[in-house]
Structure 1
Amino acid sequence: MNDCTICQIKTPHHVCPVCQHELTSDPHSESLYPEVQTTFRKNSKKKIIFFIMISMLAISIFINFTVSTTVLWSLYVLGSVLYAIILINHTFLSDAHSGSKVLLQLCGLSLMLILFDINSGFYRWSINYVVPFFGIMAITVITFFLLRNPNDLKIYFKYYFFLLLINLVLVGLVNSSLYSTVQWPSAMFLFYSTFILGGIVFFSYRKMKVELKRFFHF
């Protein structure tokens, strides 16, 4: 915009339409056009990492099914890439709650190793040992976070609840020889998780009672 000091008007013209004097530009005046965003958030590194991982996965599947399908070694690459995406996107680059990160790590690692076990002949080492001990580690880590932040009981409770669901699934695995052939790791997880949950309820019964009412809406 140009400013006419005589008529005290602003006009986009170089000559004042009233007094016909040449005008001077005002650097503080508003522009006729909206401001265009020229800078954007840089996330090229994240995109490059994901592109490399997806490319590795696609190339591995292509080579595996082109050369030979007797051994599906590309499933190892598939499990590793999917877990790496969870690890990078949700654990390292996300502002998600620590309990959510622990729970997703438990699910991601367990599913990846179960996939490896199935692809290598399904000797059930994933069901017998990996899932129970990963469950014990997850409960231990969440309990540590809860002891550091006791005021976050409401937040951590839902993650304990989901771990309890995993606990109930393991009850079925213990009683079914079709999936689990070694019972003591699952039994240890059942005892440990029940012991920890019982201790939390014992030491914070009133607060836990309130959170239960809020959680189940009664």
Structure 2
Amino acid sequence: MNKCLNCDMWTHHEICPLCHAETIGEGVHEEGAHYPAYDMEEYKKKTRISRIAIFSGVLAVLACLVINIAVMPRFLWVFYVAVAVFYVLVSLNHTILSASHLGGKIVAQVVSLTVLLLVIDIMSGAIQWSVNYVVPFLIIAGILLMSIIILKVRLRWGGYVSFLLMMIALGFSPAVFYLTGIATVLWPSVVAALFAVATFSSILLFANQAFMTQLGRRFHI
């Protein structure tokens, strides 16, 4: 069996079928050694915790809705509870308990935090602190974190390409907020967009051929 260091996969070919890089022969490996151990009990435990969390979250939101309508129907503070429960469930089920890709967890955290901040901002009187300042720098932090991880893992960056492109695309959302009048402060939106452009430009300039091959496949080039 040969191993591709770029894709971190085993193949019988001397050229990787995914990135077309030259593979390295490392001998024959024991059957089943290519896959991680699967703990059924651990999976059942995580599934049970996830279902209990979802049930408890829905129950809490419904209880708060009834109390809100009965006590203070003119101010629907239940939305604060609902969006907080949404973020906690995303963090628990997708970030903590899930075996999902780290890149996907970062994207999910950025998106869910953005939703949380937007709802809180709107419910507090649409002061626009979220879209003006917090969301742009939150997205910048997400792009930066993803870039650092890619630089750190190096030979196992293939799985991060799609998620990095998602974060770069999100980098332009603050500019969209400003152009549509949702945001009122220009410079944070410009900084986020420029950072996204700079990151993408760095990929095009400094990435190796394998990375460019993966990038071309994402855009069907």
TM-score of the pair, normalised by structure 1 = 0.75
Q: CA deviation at 1:205?
A: 4.8
- Aligned-CA RMSD value: 2.0
1:104 aligned residue: 108
Q: Which runs of 5 or more structure 2 residues have no equivalent in the other structure? A: 1-40
| CA pair 168-45 structure 1, distance change in 2 beyond 3 A | closer
1:206 alignment partner AA: Q
Q: Could you report, residue by residue, the CA deviation over 1:177-217 in whole angstroms, capped at 9, with x for unpaired residues?
A: x2111111111111222222222222115333312222123
Helix, strand or coil for the counterpart of 1:96? coil
Distance, in Å, in 1 between the alignment partners of 2:81 and 2:203 is 40
Deviations 1:144-200 (A, max 9, x none): 211111123332121122123223333322334x21111111111112222222222
CA contact (8 A) 1:90 1:96 kept: yes
Counterpart for residue 211 of structure 2: 208
- The answer on 1:185 being equivalent to 2:207 is no
Matching of residue 56 in structure 1 with residue 73 in structure 2:
no
Q: Distance in 2 between matches of 1:87 and 1:45?
A: 13
CA–CA separation in structure 2 for the residues paired with 1:113 and 1:71: 18
- 2:88 maps to which residue? 84
The 1-side partners of 2:54 and 2:215 are apart by 40
Alignment correspondent of 2:144: 140
**Partners of 1:103 and 1:84 in 2: CA distance:** 15
Map Cα deviations across residues 4-58 of structure 1 (whole Å, 9 max, x no partner).
Answer: xxxxxxxxxxxxxxxxxxxxxxxxxxxxxxxxxxx99445444333332222111
Report if aligned partners of 2:131, 2:174 keep a CA contact under 8 Å in 1: no
**CA displacement at 1:61 relative to structure 2:** 0.7
Residue equivalent to 1:22: none
Please tell me whether residue 113 in structure 1 is matched to residue 105 in structure 2. no
Moved more, 129-138 or 204-213: 204-213
Q: Does 1:175 align with 2:144?
A: no
User: Do the aligned partners of residues 44 and 161 (structure 1) sit closer, same or farther apart at CA in structure 2, a change above 3 Å counting?
Assistant: closer
Q: Determine the structure 2 residue equivalent to 1:123.
A: 127
Say how many residue pairs are matched.
179
3-state SS, counterpart of residue 55 of structure 2: helix
Q: How many angstroms apart in 1 are the aligned matches of 2:85 and 2:204? A: 39
Give the gaps of 5 or more residues in structure 1: 1-38
Specify the alignment match of 2:98 in structure 1.
Answer: 94
Q: Which amino acid in structure 2 is aligned with residue 134 of structure 1?
A: L
Structure number with larger C-alpha Rg? 1
| Residue 109 of structure 1, CA deviation | 0.4
SS in 2 for 1:160: helix
Which residue of structure 1 aligns with residue 156 of structure 2?
A: 152
Q: Which amino acid aligns with 1:126?
A: S
Alpha-carbon distance in 2 for matches of 1:185, 1:143 = 20
Are the structure 2 counterparts of residues 198 and 148 from structure 1 closer, same or farther at C-alpha, using a change threshold of 3 Å? same
**Contact 2:64–2:78 at 8 Å: present in 1 too?**
yes
One-letter amino acid of the counterpart of residue 190, structure 1: A
Secondary structure of the structure 2 residue equivalent to 1:72: coil
Aligned 8 A contact 1:132 1:185 in 2: yes
